[in-house]
Chains A and B, each alone.
Chain A
Amino acid sequence: MTRRASMAASLVGFGVSVAAIFLLPSVLELFTLINATIYVSMAILALSLALIWGYGGILCFGQAAFFGLGGYTYAVAAINFGDSTWAVVLAMVVPALFAALLGYFMFWGRIGDVYLGVITLTMTLIFFKLFNATAGDAYKIGKAALGGFNGIPSTPPLNLPWDVGSPLAPEDIWYIAASLLVLLYFGSRWLLRTSFGRVVVSIRENERRSELLGYDVRRYKLGIFTIGGAMAGISGILFANCVFVSPTMFSLFYSAQVIIWVTVGGIGTLLGPIIGAIALQMIVAKLGTLEVIDPNVVLGSILLLFVLLVPKGLLPLMQSGFDRLRRPKAPVPVEPAIRPTATPAARRPEPVSAPVGSAPATNTLGGS
């Protein structure tokens, strides 16, 4: 029953998004369309964190690192190869490999949730410092000068595969970015329905239980973390095509923003973070042009409001409102039915370091 409703909702959503993809270029001015492409590329970044954090239970504070790595890899490779085809592939592979390496040390080292956040954040800041320090001719990778704080303003646009003579226009980049967002969204939904995805979600819910059933949780966490890294890389490529790559991609600003988008949109959902990313960017951009109040203050206030009043986020709120309108007590899961309660990281039981409960009892009985 709910399955059919969710199928219907998916079809409607798919239809609306396809219509939007093809209508927007004729409605919007070029400048706005490029902005929309940026929003969409950021929505992909939000989607990558939605997977890692919302479903994998891994609070990664450094999603911007994979985003930036994707962008820089793309720019450097595209400049060197002259052709963007392999640059795109590399820009997914490099962040994914880096995520795999980092994940290996974090998950095999059994790093706790809090430290995982600290490590990923620190890593992002290290990249920020590192790329800021690359001004001057000494810092060149092949033909590409890294350019320090200025980044690589001459980031080449995408071209048709293996056809250097046909660079893509901003409208084409829009079509690609928006289609990728839809594709990755449905891809993520599919992923969460596979055996792999179901085990990943179980690990978020109760890591110890999955382990006692015989699942090697480290591998599953590494898997979802790597996939998230690759997805953030894709986001970086698209962003690089709309703007250009610079060390700000690694900045705390992006790292924090993506967490706000996911939190406001709804942890444990896929659509929520996408909506959150696009809506909040539109609000911030609008406020920026009004020049009444600092947009960051508003962004912070929105985050506070949501954490305090709507901890489940925007999408679950809208869903429950929708359900109440239709008929009482009939959940319609647009997402693969997962209950998004508090932040997964906070909900996980603390690892037991010593059996505090049993030690004193022994003492009272033994009288020792």
Chain B
Amino acid sequence: MNAPAATTRTTRVEPIIETRGLVMRFGGVEVLRGIDFGIAPGELRCLVGPNGAGKSTFFKCLTGQYHPSGGEIRFKDKAIGGLPSVEIARRGIGIKTQVPSLYDGLSAREHIWLAVKRRIANTGGLLKEVPIAVDEVMESMGIAHLADRTVGQLAHGQRQMVELSMVIGAQPDLILLDEPAAGMTHDEVERLAALVMRLRGTCSLIVVEHDMQFIRMIARQVTVLHQGQVLMEDDVETVLRDRRVRDVYLGKREVV
């Protein structure tokens, strides 16, 4: 598809997802304070920011788990703000949540089956294609050896991979990854980075991550969130060099 670096400068060129003035309030607390954000189809965007910047809340708004208090969300040129999560999922947004969200009592294969079955049923395919597609996904994600294991008994890194495979197996147009590298070993992080790079171009991705090593491995464009607003948006090196970003992250002094 289109080369990400070239198109990201002007995200106004048909962004796959776009938010305008997105606001999320909980009682008196304004967690998202007017976020303008957008990425081009096929782009990989990293979203960073200190704890409490509103990253996970932002994801929950995009996936319909929260209904925004204000502003607009457009996905594939249609307003999706406030739609139920089922509807948004069916339109092609997949998410790997921050705390792994899995079916602890089920096997890894069953996880992938659920994702693939939904996708194939959605596109009007035949159900007998499902088992083959499930095997393909597990093979390509390198979790075939875990297929019959109960996911509740897997190690943390393996669980992350199962959830990731599930999200990818559903083949959404936009994938949201909330801290995918959390709790992974160094080797696992490298494998994950390779995987994310492979996905880039086949679908759009937004990755929330704290691990700067990981971000350097995968990122071109980075958006920094701070106190529910976009602090800056630029390529990875510029962002990491930026004084304000360092202050925000290291908390040396107040940034307003």
* Chain A residues proximal to chain B, CB less than 8 Å: 195, 198-199, 201-202, 205-206, 208-217, 268, 337-341, 354-355, 358-367
Q: Closest approach, in angstroms, between the C-beta of A101 and any C-beta of chain B?
A: 22
Docked-complex contact B85 and A359, CB < 8 angstroms:
no
For A210, A339, A362, A366, the residue with the greatest tally of chain B CB atoms inside 10 Å of its CB is A362
Partner of A338, one of B105, B166, B170: B105
Q: Jot down 24 A-B pairs with beta carbons below 8 A, ordered by A.
A: A202-B106, A202-B114, A208-B85, A209-B103, A211-B84, A212-B94, A212-B95, A212-B97, A214-B89, A214-B90, A214-B170, A215-B118, A339-B152, A354-B26, A355-B56, A358-B31, A359-B52, A361-B52, A362-B54, A365-B53, A365-B227, A366-B227, A366-B254, A366-B256
Q: A355 vs B59: C-alpha distance in the bound complex, in angstroms? A: 13
Docked-complex contact B114 and A362, CB < 8 angstroms:
no
Contacts of B63 in A (CB 8 A): 212
Docked-complex contact A211 and B89, CB < 8 angstroms:
yes
Docked-complex contact B86 and A202, CB < 8 angstroms:
no
Within 8 A of A (CB), among B97-134: 97, 101-107, 110, 113-115, 117-118, 122, 127
Nearest residue in B to A208 (C-beta to C-beta)?
A: B101
Interface: B51 (CB within 8 A): yes
Q: How many A-B residue pairs have CB under 8 A?
A: 108
Nearest residue in A to B99 (C-beta to C-beta)?
A: A349
Docked-complex contact B105 and A341, CB < 8 angstroms:
yes
Contacts of A337 in B (CB 8 A): 107
With A205-B105, A362-B53 known, 15 other A-B pairs at CB within 8 A are A202-B103, A206-B104, A209-B103, A211-B85, A212-B94, A213-B166, A214-B118, A338-B105, A339-B150, A339-B152, A354-B26, A358-B51, A358-B54, A359-B29, A364-B52
Q: A244 vs B86: C-alpha distance in the bound complex, in angstroms? A: 46
Q: A209 vs B29: C-alpha distance in the bound complex, in angstroms? A: 27
Docked-complex contact A354 and B27, CB < 8 angstroms:
yes
Contacts of B103 in A (CB 8 A): 202, 205-206, 209
Docked-complex contact B251 and A355, CB < 8 angstroms:
no
Q: Closest approach, in angstroms, between the C-beta of B30 and any C-beta of chain A?
A: 9
Q: Closest approach, in angstroms, between the C-beta of A335 and any C-beta of chain B?
A: 12
Nearest residue in B to A356 (C-beta to C-beta)?
A: B26
Q: Closest approach, in angstroms, between the C-beta of B114 and any C-beta of chain A?
A: 5
Docked-complex contact B110 and A214, CB < 8 angstroms:
no
Q: A367 vs B227: C-alpha distance in the bound complex, in angstroms? A: 11
Q: Known contacts being A210-B114, A213-B114, A213-B166, is A360 close to B52, with CB within 8 Å?
A: yes
Partner of B31, one of A210, A340, A362, A367: A362
* Chain B residues proximal to chain A, CB less than 8 Å: 26-27, 29, 31, 50-54, 56-57, 63, 65, 84-86, 89-90, 94-95, 97, 101-107, 110, 113-115, 117-118, 122, 127, 150, 152, 166, 170, 226-228, 248, 251, 254, 256
Contacts of B104 in A (CB 8 A): 205-206, 339
Contacts of A361 in B (CB 8 A): 50-52
Docked-complex contact B85 and A212, CB < 8 angstroms:
yes
Docked-complex contact A213 and B118, CB < 8 angstroms:
yes
Docked-complex contact B227 and A362, CB < 8 angstroms:
yes
Nearest residue in B to A206 (C-beta to C-beta)?
A: B103
Q: Closest approach, in angstroms, between the C-beta of B188 and any C-beta of chain A?
A: 22
Q: A217 vs B170: C-alpha distance in the bound complex, in angstroms? A: 17
Docked-complex contact B228 and A362, CB < 8 angstroms:
yes
Q: Closest approach, in angstroms, between the C-beta of A350 and any C-beta of chain B?
A: 13
Q: Closest approach, in angstroms, between the C-beta of A114 and any C-beta of chain B?
A: 22
Q: A339 vs B97: C-alpha distance in the bound complex, in angstroms? A: 23
Partner of B110, one of A202, A211, A363, A367: A202
Contacts of B150 in A (CB 8 A): 339
Q: A339 vs B103: C-alpha distance in the bound complex, in angstroms? A: 11
Q: Closest approach, in angstroms, between the C-beta of A329 and any C-beta of chain B?
A: 12
Contacts of B89 in A (CB 8 A): 211-214
Contacts of B166 in A (CB 8 A): 213
Nearest residue in A to B107 (C-beta to C-beta)?
A: A337
Q: A96 vs B41: C-alpha distance in the bound complex, in angstroms? A: 47
